[in-house]
Each structure stands twice: as structure tokens, then as C-alpha cells.
A = this chain, B = another copy of it.
Amino acid sequence: MSLTNATPVEAARAARFASRTLAILPSSARNAALTAIHDALAAAKDDILRANSCDMSNAIEAASNGELSQSLIKRLDLTRPGKFEDMLQGILEVRELDDPIGKIDRRTLLDDGLILTRKSSPIGVLLIIFEARPEVIANIASLAIKSGNAAILKGGKESTESFKAISAVISQALGTTEVPNDALQLVLTRDAIAPLLQLDQYIDLVIPRGGNELVRSIKKGTQIPVLGHADGLCSIYLRADNPVDMAVNVIRDAKLSYPAACNALETLLVDEDALTTVFLAVAKKLLEEGVSLRCDAASKAALTSTLDKHLAVLLQDATDEDYKTEFLSLILAIKTIPTSPTPAAAADLAITHINEHGSHHTDAILTMNESIARRFQQGVDSAGVFWNTSTRMADGQRFGFGTEVGISTNKIHARGPVGLEGLTIYRWLLDGQGQVSAEYGAGGKQWKHQALPVEDRDRKYMARDEEEWEVLREFRREKCMRNCS
């Protein structure tokens, strides 16, 4: 990992060259680099924590002047129990994941002796801009190396000393491995970002992690594809048939388990006939826990007449703007879905509201009616559409990806939590025996276009050839006979 005084062009060009070496390293070499980084960071714990304490002192001073928030200080602190060890463990967890590179997911016989193969490969060079959390540098470095991508990293400036210490250790560790040092570059100054965003000949993908404003300004400033999300305006649609306990528990988790998260709940849509039943319990719980409810007229009227007075006085009026706002705090917008001719018609109102006001991140429905749930899941155009569970489940670790580089609301490439797979693309490999295009077509040879079985370590359940497939068919026939007799 270089921490150079190179110009942005030099840094990006060096990353591009290094990416070619990294891309063809075998899995074992990439994994060995992760082991080396892990061991080196473990050995250098004291040095790194010393650097971290400098960042902490600076941050505490800035906070006392009101320039920094307490939550940022908390995120900076690598000395909190278990945090350093979690960082180390994360590197090993990424190492243990399946290699995302070199996977074959399609093979087609185009003609005799002409076989088309689709094989996963790294994207190339990533530019990742992230928040002031010291451990993230190790996390992202692991993901980049595992997926065979070079990466240029720029973290929040409040972590500078920690970043410098960690990157020095990683750099030294990489020196003992086959991964080129230039494959990971740490940029310390914000000035470097704008010129880097112009270098689409060297950089393939930008991944900004951070607020709305950061993401928007990056999108404006580059022709390089940007993967990520600006807003996280998540909604839940609550129907009257949902059990009170489940509704309270799920909505509480979605709003309160981490209100500043992108997958936290911002708008609650409530069926009119749920206002004085299940919603009442939800509202009571949320108000008691300090959530401000911004209600439309129908929900406010229903709550005012049923809630205890000391809670009812806390209710606020919603404006149109509230339904387009990602609060990231203890505020929740409430919208009533009027009683409709059919439950499906009511669901369609909720779906339309979400598609027009939401950010296509993650939305959920709470209902015991499966057909309504399926309608909702089909109609809502978001990366995640959940049924009877919390929007906070949208997370790479929870989805079983091991870890994530972020959550994408893009409509192309990777959508939702982005793990190793989202950091790959594929190449089309075509093996021939001298066939040429002009031989085929009108009056010429015909294409066969026959799908061939794929040999892939991830598809252990797959029959490998026609013989095995015949065995399976025979088994299925027998089983069907047994079941039918």
C-alpha cells in the first residue's frame, strides 16, 4: 500500500499497472497477502493505537469547539473493546470467502469446436471514498485484494494518523507477498479527489460511502461509473392484519436500532383500518422512546382520540416535504392509506407512494396476507423488498456476503448490499479451431447454440453431464411413482 507524494495521474497509472498483475494472481497468492496483512497489523497493534490516540486528541479538541460530533469521535476510537480484534477478524473472514474470480457461469457450444465461456474477472481499479473510521481501511483493502482489484482509498481526514499507521503496516506486509504495493494506494488530501475523478482511462469504478451530498457531488464531477446510494429513504407499509407484537418489534428495530443508518425507517404507511388497532400500539411505543411522529390528518386524528393525552400532545403535522425526507434521526413520517375497494387496491396506493417518494433502497410490508405481500414485492421498485422483517436487514453481513463495500441503489450492475460479487465483471472467452464469421448465416453454416453444463465449485448440486442427468431423471421418475402410488 503506497502512501506516496505521487500526483493523482501517477498514482492512478501505477494502480492500473498493478491491477493487471493482481488480476492474474491465483487465489492462494491473494489469500496469502491477506494473511500477511492480518499478521502484520496484529503485531503492530501498539503503534497503530498510538497513532489513533493522536487522532482522538485532535477530534476531542475539535469537538470541544463544537466542530465535531460525539458520534464521530466514537467511530474514530480504535481502542474500544474488541474493535481492533474485529478488524483483524474481518480480514480473515474475507480470506475464507469463496474466490469470486475465475468462476465460470455459462458455457455455450456455438458450433462444433467453438465454445463460448463466461468467466468472472476483477473490474480493475476502484476509487473508494469513505468515512473517518480507521478500521475501514483494512476492511476495504481486504475486499479489493480478494476480488483482484486495485484500489485507491481516501478516508475521512479525522482518521489521518490512524490511516497512515495502518497503511505503513500494510505496505510493509505486502512487500513480502506477490501483491504489488501499488495495488493499494492511500490518498490523504481531499485535493486529489477532483483530479482522480477525471482519470477514466485508469479508474473503472468510484464507490463513495457517505452522505447524500458527497455522493451527489461525486456523480456530478465524473464520467466514471459511480456505485452506491445517495438517499436511503426506506418505508414500511403496515396492514391491520399484522400481529401487534410483530409490528411493534419490527418497526421499532427499523426506526431505532440505528436511526442514522441508510436502511433505517423514514416513512410509515398505515392502512386506515389499522390506525386505531395495531398502529396505535406502534405509535405509543415510538413516542415513548422519543420518536417524533409527523402525521397526516387522518392518522393524527385517529391517534389524538385514542392515545393518552401526554403522548397525543407530542404529535406533529406532516408536510409534503416530510415524505421525501431522509431524517436519519428520531423523526418518522406517517401516511395513511385510505380504505379502498379491495386490499390489492390499497396495496397499490402504498406501492405507488413508495415508488414516487422513496429512494429505491429498501422497503417492507407487514401483513399476514401472502398474496398482498407478493404484490408488494413485485410492485415496489427497490433494491430490497422485504416481508415481515425489518429494513435494517439490508446489509452485506446479514445477507451472508461476509462483508460489503456499501449498498447500491443503482439500477445496473450491483443492487443492494455489495459484496465481493459486486466487485467483479466477466469476460467472454471463445475457443475456436479457425472458424470465421463469414461462414455462418444465410446459405452458410448454422449456429448450434447449445448450453453446456458448467463446472463450478459453487454449484455442487449440479449434475455434470448427460449420464448423471439421466440418473437424476430416473430417481425423479421413481420418486414420483412412489408418491403417486
Contacts and interface: CB of A to CB of B under 8 A. Distances in A.
Interface of A: 20, 23-24, 108, 110, 114, 116, 121, 123-124, 204-205, 219-220, 223, 225, 227, 243, 245-246, 249-250, 252-254, 257, 352, 355, 373, 377-379, 381-390, 392-395, 398-400, 410-417, 425-438, 440, 447, 449, 453, 459-464, 468-469, 471-472, 475-476
A389 B425 contact: no
A413 B416 contact: no
B386 A249 contact: no
Contacts of A205: 411-412
A225 B384 contact: no
Contacts of A417: 428
A312 to B, nearest CB: 27
A436 B384 contact: no
Nearest to A86: B442
B412 A413 contact: yes
Contact of A428 (B121, B254, B416, B447): B416
Contact of A124 (B225, B411, B463, B471): B411
A432 to B, nearest CB: 3
Given A436-B257, A462-B462, A475-B471, A110 B447 contact: no
A388 B471 contact: no
Given A110-B400, A383-B427, A415-B428, A468 B476 contact: yes
Contacts of A429: 377, 384-387
A20 B379 contact: yes
17 contacts: A123-B411, A124-B411, A204-B411, A205-B412, A219-B223, A384-B427, A385-B427, A385-B428, A387-B429, A388-B432, A390-B436, A392-B436, A393-B432, A462-B463, A463-B463, A468-B476, A471-B472
A124 B428 CA distance: 26
A163 to B, nearest CB: 26
A72 B412 CA distance: 33
A12 to B, nearest CB: 14
Contacts of A250: 434, 436
A425 B412 contact: yes
Contacts of A414: 412
Contacts of A385: 427-430
Contacts of A472: 461, 463, 468, 471-472
A482 to B, nearest CB: 12
Q: How many copies of this kind of chain does the complex include?
A: 2
Contact of A461 (B381, B399, B462): B462
Contacts of A416: 427-428
A468 B475 contact: yes
B355 A20 contact: yes
B253 A437 contact: yes
B428 A249 contact: no
B434 A249 contact: yes
A432 B386 contact: yes
Contact of A437 (B392, B434, B462): B392
A197 B256 CA distance: 39
Contacts of A245: 434
A159 to B, nearest CB: 24
A110 to B, nearest CB: 7
A239 to B, nearest CB: 14
A115 B253 CA distance: 19
Given A395-B437, A434-B250, A425 B411 contact: yes
Given A24-B378, A463-B472, A476-B468, A227 B447 contact: no
Given A245-B434, A413-B425, 12 more contacts: A20-B352, A20-B355, A23-B381, A219-B223, A383-B427, A389-B431, A393-B430, A412-B413, A415-B426, A415-B427, A453-B461, A460-B469
Nearest to A19: B381
A412 B123 contact: yes
Given A225-B412, A257-B438, A416-B428, A398 B246 contact: no
A388 B257 contact: no
Contact of A227 (B124, B388, B412): B412
A245 B459 CA distance: 40
A400 B225 contact: no
Nearest to A426: B415
B393 A437 contact: yes
Contact of A116 (B399, B428, B436): B399
Nearest to A402: B449
Contact of A462 (B223, B390, B459): B459
